[in-house]
Amino acid sequence: MPLFANAVFAISAEKTDDLPQPEGAEIVFAGRSNSGKSSAINTLAGQTRLAFVSKTPGRTQLINFFRLSNGGFLVDLPGYGYADVPDRVRRHWQEVLSSYLRRRQSICGLVLVMDARRPLTDLDRQLLEWFGPSGKPIHVLLTKADKLSRNEAAKALQATRLELAPWSDQVSVQLFSSLKKTGVEEAERALGGWLGLTAEEKEKPPAKGEKNRGQKRLNWIKAPAQGGEAGDSSTPSEPFEPQLPAQVPSNAN
Ligand SMILES: Nc1nc2c(ncn2[C@@H]2O[C@H](COP(=O)(O)OP(=O)(O)OP(=O)(O)O)[C@@H](O)[C@H]2O)c(=O)[nH]1
Ligand SMILES: [Mg+2]
């Protein structure tokens, strides 16, 4: 059973004021429009229509929260970099995203979703600039890996890891495909770790006369997180002053 199989839609927010009170640890999915964020959430939840997927870029226009059975959340962000958006809307989203990523204490980690064919665009780097100073973990999914040959995919992975090597304490990178369902276990390990969930292989005691004696079941169990319960948004995390790149809009005159 997928790690996030019990995820259910909780709430949508259009602007920072609409954000729900932090209740549990939030795993945020961010990335360029059409990179496959909503698809990745569906894949990790083992569902087809939890998050809205579309061929048309820019379809996720709200911050969507999906509640997990352990009290945490998966958060699907609107994509950036979609050209066909009025400036006013683009600015609005840039402000909402940067503010959410920089200030929300309950975020426990960022999943940066990038098309394996076009990783680390300027906007992806800007996102890393916004979130990096938090010191919280970042897991990169190089999605649509099925569109590359095995060799090309390995090269994309290696090149991205190399570029992000200076932040290897904070950043991990993997290949992923929602279409082929590849990379799911690796992603589950990374994200489950943030929520204090660990895979434990348990042998089911065979009932008398039961078939499949000794069949193994993979269970995800809740492990105590440091500084509080797993999924506890009160887990200590210092506020930080982000180092904003020059192109980020600021309120200064
Ligand atoms: N081949 C392939 N197609 C994918 C994969 N992941 C997503 N797609 C397709 O890419 C398109 C965009 O996927 P979404 O999951 O909606 O992308 P998104 O990042 O949520 O897009 P926005 O909400 O617009 O930011 C859809 O047509 C998906 O079917 C994948 O791993 N492989
Ligand atoms: Mg989406």
Q: What is the CATH number of the domain that holds 159?
A: 3.40.50.300
Q: Tell me if 231 is assigned to some domain.
A: no
Ligand found nearest the CA of 41: 1
39 close to ligand 1 (CB < 6 Angstrom) = yes
SS3 for 183-201, per residue?
CHHHHHHHHHHHCCEEEEE
Is pLDDT of 239 > 80? no
Q: Tell me if 247 is assigned to some domain.
A: no
Q: Tell me if 228 is assigned to some domain.
A: no
What total number of domains does the chain contain?
1
Which pLDDT value is given to residue 198?
Answer: 65
Confidence (pTM): 0.80
Domain that includes residue 185, residue range: 8-222
Positive or negative: CA dihedral 150, 111, 190, 43? negative
Mean pLDDT of 215-235: 30
Rounded distance between C-alpha atoms, residue 149 and residue 155, angstroms: 10
Is pLDDT of 36 > 90? yes
Q: Tell me if 39 is assigned to some domain.
A: yes
Rounded distance between C-alpha atoms, residue 212 and residue 203, angstroms: 11
Q: Tell me if 161 is assigned to some domain.
A: yes
Number of C-beta neighbours around residue 115 at 10 A: 20
| Ligand 2 centroid, distance to 29 Cα (angstroms) | 9
Is pLDDT of 142 > 90? yes
Q: Tell me if 234 is assigned to some domain.
A: no
Of 55-64, 167-176, 218-227, give the lowest mean pLDDT range.
Answer: 218-227
Q: Tell me if 201 is assigned to some domain.
A: yes
Is pLDDT of 250 > 60? no
**Structure confidence by residue, pLDDT tens digits, 143-197:** 999 999 999 999 999 999 999 999 999 999 999 999 999 999 999 999 999 998 8
The minimum-distance atom of ligand 1 relative to the CA of 80 is 25
Q: Tell me if 249 is assigned to some domain.
A: no
Which among 152, 155, 184, 187 is positioned nearest to 173, based on CA atoms?
A: 187
